[in-house]
Amino acid sequence: GLFEGLGRSAEARGRLAEAAVHYQGALAAAPEHPGLEEKLRALEQAVQEQAIGKAGKSE
C-alpha cells in the first residue's frame, strides 16, 4: 500500500521516526496486514534507542 511504501522509503533513508508514522497509517488502513504491527514495534524501539543515543552524546 501507499503508506507502507512511504514507510519503506523513509526507512531506507534512515528517517526512522518518519517511517514509523507511515507504518502507523498503513496499520490503521489495513490492521490485518501480516507482520506490519511487528515492523512498527521494531521501528518504534529503534527510534527510542536512537533518541537515547543522541541525548547521551549531548551531555
pTM recorded for the entire structure = 0.81
Q: How far is Cα 47 from Cα 51, in angstroms, rounded to an integer?
A: 6
Q: Tally DSSP H helices, then E strands, for the chain.
A: 3, 0
**Which grid cell sits at 11?**
526507512
CA distance linking residue 13 with residue 7, whole number of Å: 10
Domain residue spans of the chain: 2-58
Measured CA to CA in angstroms, residue 39 lies from 2, 19, 23, 24 at distances of 16, 10, 8, 10
pLDDT tens per residue across span 1-57: 899 999 999 999 999 999 999 999 999 999 998 899 999 999 999 999 988 888 887
Q: Give the per-residue pLDDT at 59.
A: 60
